[in-house]
Amino acid sequence: MAHQWIFSLIVLSCALYSMGVDKNNFKTCDQSSFCRRLRAVKPGESKYEIDLDSLQVTDNSVDAKLLNTEAGVLFKFSLTAINGNIFRIQVDEASPLYQRYRPQFALNGEPQVSKLEVLERSKDSVSITYNKNKVIIHARPLKIEFFENGELVSVVNGRGLFTFEHYRKKQEQTNEEGQENQVAEDPGAWEENFKSHHDSKPKGPSAIGLDVSFPGALRVYGLPEHADRLALKTTGPGGVDPYRLYNLDVFEYELDSTMAIYGAIPVVYAHSPKRTVGVFWHNAAETWVDINNSKDGNVMASIVNLVSGSKSENNVDAHFMSESGIVDLFVLMGPTPKDAIKQYASLTGVHPLPQYFTLAYHQCRWNYNDEDDVTSVVQNFDISDMPVDIMWLDIEYTNGKKYFTWDPVKFPHPDVMIQNLTATGRKLVIIIDPHIKRESGYFVHEDSLSNDYYVKNKDGTVYEGWCWPGSSSYLDFYKPETVEYYKDLYSLENFKGTTHDVNFWNDMNEPSVFNGPEITMPKDCIHHGGWEHRDVHNEYPLAHTYATFQGLINRSPNKRPFILTRGHFSGSQRYTAMWTGDNAAEWSHLAVSYPMCLSEAIGGISFCGADIGGFFNNPDIELLQRWYQAAVWLPFFRAHAHIDTRRREPYLFADDVKNRIRNALRLRYAHLPLWYTLFWQHEITGEPVIRPLFYHYPTDENVLDIDNEVLVGNTVLARVISDPGVSSINVYLPGGANEYWYDIEDFRLYHGTGNYNIPVSLDKSLAFYRGGSIIPRKDRPRRSSSLMHNDPFTLYIALDSNQQASGYLYIDDAESFEYKNKKYLYVRFTFEDNTLKSELVDKTDYPTKEWIERLVILGPPKGVKSAKLVSKSLGSVELDAAYSNEDRILVVRKPGVSIREKFTVKLYF
Ligand SMILES: *[C@@H]1O[C@H](CO)[C@@H](O)[C@H](O)[C@H]1NC(C)=O
Ligand SMILES: *[C@@H]1O[C@H](CO)[C@@H](O)[C@H](O)[C@H]1NC(C)=O
């Protein structure tokens, strides 16, 4: 939530009736002096050379001196083999005047090195091998080639754009550079408007840049967060601005844009039907990335190919440019999308299994006015027979925007209100932002001032900016004492009124500063350790949520914390869910929710969602319904709305609308066991919870640009309906004639042979089960997910072309860490030879009362008369089996067996 009153005023006064981002607030590459400098580096001979005489080889790494031949400056170069077919290249200054920043939070521990071997050394190069991978380091000029199974898959500095601006002593800073700075600080319109004098660089230019090519790649994906398509587009001077990674609070962000928004994840995956290779640019400073995909809408390249008649292989280039820090590049060798994405997860971690309820429906609004409002919203859900699990409170619950306090008039009895909620199995999430109101007597401010917990100006005074409370200062989460203090603020003793059932929303943590340059903190602010904000900017929200996470672990040691963040960086998945921020009630924003969350998912952040209905403005009723139907298939499922919008809780509408939204909510609740199982598997394997089509169908060229469909695990394919008034929709179903897809509402069978035009009434949403899957569902409607814990399962058995299927179900206590002590069940179901079998995958147990109520077999064999269950405790039991839905399904009733027990159910003809 970040309606910025300042910008409302600007927008109102500048363009009375127009909506949308005010681009004058945000830099283009041309307005960023380092982006302009690095983009001006011309391809060609690199001036950087490896000194092969200095080469040192250990079991895991190759180290050498790297020389900038023009400036005569020395660098340290190292290439390391990392477990799981990853290489790491690091370059830092050999004798730096100032230390350069290395991100502290992104990696999930120090990456484990692996053994490499030197294959060959010549006077010009050295080649090394590691598993099926080979690397050739060319010395003069620097160029590094990566081969997988003998094929060239990636080249670093192939275009010679490698740049490492070294720090210089004042007197060494040349005339030439001075001039450059003059140009950089030339007060253009942008600077004039927003007084970005804070943006100067006291230590001098320190940018780094690097190009990476991917021969043969057809598409490149990644670089969240952008409000853009999944496949990255070609950028370049004179054309589209580079993808910018700089966490920013962008009011009314625009779509199809490479502009930076709230999150920054510098990973890309280059993909072709043959292979997938990724690179992770481990840097927390402002970063721009130019992409050149020579076959992607690049008219010039197509014309050249046409004229010359050449059928040269495609090539994708990425050019990374960061304002400071070191070069720390991980090359993820793939070779499949699954491999490359898991390699990234092995470096930056996974989202730990969340509490079960967090996957259910969240109801949010800026703001629920008071305690009665909260109580009555939940009562209305109950009256309308619609499930809801979590009520959210935005900033107005606080006493004057002072976090860790309650408004004494509107929320005088938070403990009673929370008790009311939890009595019906509901939970509460409340907002806590990182800015602190500068008000004397406010304990957080007083403590932070007297103990020095705030971020500083460059002159050492406490930094002050404007945010919701007015004048604010910002906690410095790089200081261990600040983190210790902040953790304690979340304790039940300190935050009176809260309970173990209260979780938290960390918003505005880019950080958002209404009067700061580009609505954020000036780059020359100083953090603990002497780091400039410039160095750590993209990592700041991760440092913030890390502290919150530790606070919640301390507060409730046996409850898995739930935190929602807006700002995020590589590694944020270890602590938080995220959402796509302040979207709008427009069809295009519904559409972009799928590619945005898919991009986050391959960027390591599976727990993603978009505000249902759109945050700004009022959705029409059709849009609202379509939004609920589509959001069922994104991991984070929350409705939210701006304070100026009309109330839109789903019970407020006419019966037909209520019915459709109720159906969507119930569909989500029915699939909670699937979501939960997928999150467990995500924690164990690093596989994303939702996946783009190319993840499971990497050799299908038709899916390269499909981002209006998501795969939920490898089980469900959902297609967003993001146009008004449609009576039919095109759906691409992948996998070929032998891949079966069943419409999950009418159980119609489709083959994976491509495009289908499917009729859609307003009642109809588009989701399909993949033939070959077994999906555990809970089909009894309840008011909240916690009331479903003992409900029985229905297994949906979607048969493939061989009349087989398999699937998993994960169960535990839904909230604690006891699953780490083997207190869980992980069940595998298989169906073959007309027999369903269950077995425990791991030797674990969890004393659940859950049982199997029904089997629904999709695409069943013909002529089944009955079924027989066999289990140890029940012996042999005859079961009813009956066809329905025009014989598209066979329903086997009441197996009645406990989910803890091994069993078989055999069909009889
Ligand atoms: C992209 O690459 C192609 C082929 O190498 C080249 O001709 C073109 O100039 C590049 N475009 C940009 C914008 O750099
Ligand atoms: C709690 O619920 C009761 C019964 O519905 C209601 O009367 C009371 O106002 C609620 N209290 C709060 C603080 O929400």
H/E/C letters for each residue in 706-738?
A: CCCEEEECCCEEEECCCCCCCCEEEEEEEEEEE
* Distance in Å, CA 278 to ligand 1 centroid: 20
Please indicate whether residue 301, judged by its CB atom, sits closer than 6 Å to ligand 1: yes
Q: Which ligand is nearest to the CA of 374?
A: 2
Please indicate whether residue 68, judged by its CB atom, sits closer than 6 Å to ligand 1: no
Q: Which atom of ligand 2 is nearest to the CA of 416?
A: 13
Lateral strand order in the sheet of 470-474? 435-437, 470-474, 465-467
Distance linking the first and last C-alpha atoms of the chain: 59
Rounded to 5 degrees, what are φ and ψ at 194?
Answer: -120, 15
Query: Looking at residue 4, what is its pLDDT?
Result: 46
Q: Ligand 2: list residues with CB < 6 Å.
A: 371, 375, 413, 416-417, 420
**Contacting residues for 320 by C-beta, under 8 A, at least 6 apart:** 209, 210, 211, 212, 266, 281, 283, 287, 288, 289, 329
* Distance in Å, CA 503 to ligand 2 centroid: 21
Rounded to an integer, what distance in angstroms lies between the CA atom of residue 235 and that of residue 601? 23
* Distance in Å, CA 448 to ligand 1 centroid: 52
Q: Which atom of ligand 1 is nearest to the CA of 304?
A: 7
Q: How many residues does the chain have?
A: 909
Query: Looking at residue 8, what is its pLDDT?
Result: 42
Tell me which DSSP letter residue 818 carries.
G
Q: Which ligand is nearest to the CA of 240?
A: 1
Query: Looking at residue 19, what is its pLDDT?
Result: 62
> Does residue 96 have a cis bond before it (omega within 30 degrees)?
no
Neighbour-count burial of 203, counting CB atoms closer than 10 A to its CB (0-12 exposed, 13-18 middle, 19+ buried): middle
Query: DSSP labels for 446-509?
Result: HHHHHHT-B-B-TTSSBP-EEETTEEEEEB-TTSHHHHHHHHHHTSTTTSTT--TTEEEEE-ST
Q: Which atom of ligand 2 is nearest to the CA of 375?
A: 14
Residue 424: alpha-carbon gap to chain centroid = 31
Please indicate whether residue 348, judged by its CB atom, sits closer than 6 Å to ligand 1: no
Ramachandran area for residue 668 (φ above 0: left; ψ -120 to 50: alpha; else beta): alpha
Q: Which atom of ligand 2 is nearest to the CA of 379?
A: 5
CA pseudo-torsion sign 614, 619, 625, 626:
negative
* Distance in Å, CA 301 to ligand 1 centroid: 7
Please indicate whether residue 295, judged by its CB atom, sits closer than 6 Å to ligand 1: no
Dihedral of CA atoms 523, 525, 528, 531 in degrees, nearest 10, equals 40
Query: Looking at residue 200, what is its pLDDT?
Result: 55
Query: Looking at residue 186, what is its pLDDT?
Result: 35
Integer-rounded Cα Rg, in Å, for the chain is 28
Residue 78: alpha-carbon gap to chain centroid = 30
The three-class DSSP label of residue 276 is: strand
State how beta strands 143-148 and 133-138 pair: antiparallel
Q: Which atom of ligand 1 is nearest to the CA of 236?
A: 13
Residue minimizing CA distance to atom 4 of ligand 1: 294
Q: Which of 41, 243, 294 to mutate to test the pocket of ligand 1 (most atoms within 8 A of CB)?
A: 294
Residue minimizing CA distance to atom 11 of ligand 1: 292
Q: Which ligand is nearest to the CA of 416?
A: 2
Q: Which of 42, 155, 298 to mutate to test the pocket of ligand 1 (most atoms within 8 A of CB)?
A: 298
- Side chain identity at residue 235, one-letter code: T
Query: DSSP labels for 541-609?
Result: HHHHHHHHHHHHHHHSTTS---EEESSEETTGGGT-EEE--S-BSSHHHHHHHHHHHHHHHHTT--SEE
* Distance in Å, CA 377 to ligand 2 centroid: 12
Q: Which of 38, 258, 292 to mutate to test the pocket of ligand 1 (most atoms within 8 A of CB)?
A: 292
CA pseudo-torsion sign 100, 104, 110, 113:
negative
Rounded to an integer, what distance in angstroms lies between the CA atom of residue 717 and that of residue 740? 11
Query: Looking at residue 169, what is its pLDDT?
Result: 73
Query: Looking at residue 168, what is its pLDDT?
Result: 80
Q: Which atom of ligand 2 is nearest to the CA of 371?
A: 14
Q: How many CB atoms lie within 10 A of CB 724?
A: 10
407, 507, 743, 800: the catalytic one is 507
* Distance in Å, CA 480 to ligand 1 centroid: 47
Query: Looking at residue 184, what is its pLDDT?
Result: 36
Question: Quick check: 322 and 207 in contact, CB under 8 A?
Answer: yes
Please indicate whether residue 294, judged by its CB atom, sits closer than 6 Å to ligand 1: yes
Active site residue 880: no
Active site residue 328: no
Structure tokens at 689: 């919870």
Q: Which ligand is nearest to the CA of 410?
A: 2
Q: Which residues of the chain have pLDDT under 50?
A: 1-18, 174-198, 297-302, 305, 309
Q: Which ligand is nearest to the CA of 372?
A: 2
Rounded to 5 degrees, what are φ and ψ at 347?
Answer: -85, -45
Q: Which ligand is nearest to the CA of 312?
A: 1
Residues 134-186 pLDDT 10s:
999 999 999 999 999 999 999 999 999 999 998 887 655 544 333 333 333 33
Rounded to an integer, what distance in angstroms lies between the CA atom of residue 632 and that of residue 612? 10
* Distance in Å, CA 295 to ligand 1 centroid: 10
Find where tokens 């078989």 sit.
904
Q: Which atom of ligand 1 is nearest to the CA of 300?
A: 7
Structure tokens at 396: 């107005």
Residue minimizing CA distance to atom 2 of ligand 2: 420
Q: Which of 379, 406, 416 to mutate to test the pocket of ligand 2 (most atoms within 8 A of CB)?
A: 416
Tell me which DSSP letter residue 664 carries.
H
Please indicate whether residue 204, judged by its CB atom, sits closer than 6 Å to ligand 1: no
Q: Which atom of ligand 1 is nearest to the CA of 239?
A: 13
* Distance in Å, CA 411 to ligand 2 centroid: 12
339, 524, 582, 611: the catalytic one is 582
Q: Which of 370, 374, 376, 420 to mutate to test the pocket of ligand 2 (most atoms within 8 A of CB)?
A: 420
Rounded to an integer, what distance in angstroms lies between the CA atom of residue 131 and that of residue 129? 7
